[in-house]
Amino acid sequence: MNKLMCTLLVLMILPGCKKSEDLETSVNNRWQAVVENDLEKAYEYFSPGYKKIENLLSYRNRIATAKINMNWTSGKYKSAQCETDSDTDTVSTCKVQVQVAYTYTFPRRSMGTVGTESVVVEDWIQVKGKWYLVPKER
């Protein structure tokens, strides 16, 4: 009987673990794509609603403009605070902290370049089992 109870308990806990692993993987994969300048792949992680207001070309242009002075060198999932949908009892939205490293080149080249790190907070939403980034309003 104890063996059966332990097995059932493990089966109930594992689905919850998988959700956070999927989120962490999605966050890390998106940031890897940004660092590697694979903007098509990075764009895939935007929410379907966001893709309706910014197409891939616009996104590419915005990132190209940012990269005039900034170059992302890494982005890694740090932690997440998630909310559960009370109707379905599933995780639906998360505020994710990402440790981001980048170099910044000053507009006056004589001032040089500086490397730094900061924590970025991103909003992610789960739709039909897949995690998407929901950018903040600009």
Q: pLDDT tens-digit profile of 40-54?
A: 999 999 999 999 999
DSSP 50-113: HHTTS-HHHHHHHHHHHTTTEEEEEEEEEEEEEEEETTTTEEEEEEEEEEEEEEEE-SSGGG-E
In a domain, residue 6? The reply is no
Is residue 116 a contact partner of residue 104, using CB atoms and an 8 Å limit?
Answer: yes
In a domain, residue 5? The reply is no
Domain with residue 125: its CATH number is: 3.10.450.100
Q: What residues make up the domain containing 37?
A: 13-134
Number of domains into which the chain is organized: 1
The rounded distance, in Å, linking the Cα atoms of 77 and 94 is 12
In a domain, residue 4? The reply is no
CA atoms lying within 13 Å on the CB side of residue 128: 2
Please tell me the pTM assigned to this model: 0.77
The rounded distance, in Å, linking the Cα atoms of 116 and 99 is 11
Whole-number pLDDT of residue 85: 77
> Which tens digit of pLDDT belongs to each residue from 12-32?
333 444 444 599 999 999 999
Backbone φ and ψ of 52, nearest 5° = -75, -20
Is residue 20 a contact partner of residue 80, using CB atoms and an 8 Å limit?
Answer: yes
Is the confidence at residue 109, as pLDDT, over 90?
Answer: no
Which H or E element spans position 30? helix 2-35
